[in-house]
Amino acid sequence: MANLATKIGVEGGQKLKIHTPLIHLSKAEIVAQGVSLGVDFALTLSCYDPTPDGAACGRCDACVLRRRGFTGAGVADPTRYRAG
C-alpha cells in the first residue's frame, strides 16, 4: 500500500518495505520480549481513549489486549488505569 499511496513509492521509483517483526507474536510473547530487552512498560500506553493525564481507560480493545498480554506473560502491568 505504501508503494501505491506515497509520492516516493509512485514517482520515486523506490519500493518501500514495511517490517513487522512482532506480527506473529502473541501479546504475552511481546511483553516477555520487551521485559528481556529492558523495556520500561510504565512509559508505554496502548489505550485508544486515555485521560488528559495519561491514565488508560481499561475498557477499549487495546487496554483489554494489553492486560491479557501482561497476565499471560506473568508480568505485573504498570499501566495507570482510570478509576471506575
Domain borders along the chain are 20-84
pTM over 0.85: no
pLDDT band at residue 7 under the 50/70/90 scheme: confident
Q: CA–CA separation, 16 vs 7, rounded Å?
A: 11
Which tens digit of pLDDT belongs to each residue from 26-56?
Answer: 999 999 999 999 999 999 999 999 999 999 9
pLDDT at 26: 97
Which tens digit of pLDDT belongs to each residue from 51-77?
Answer: 999 999 999 999 999 999 999 999 999
What backbone torsions phi and psi does residue 10 show, to the nearest 5 degrees? -85, -50
pLDDT at 84: 55
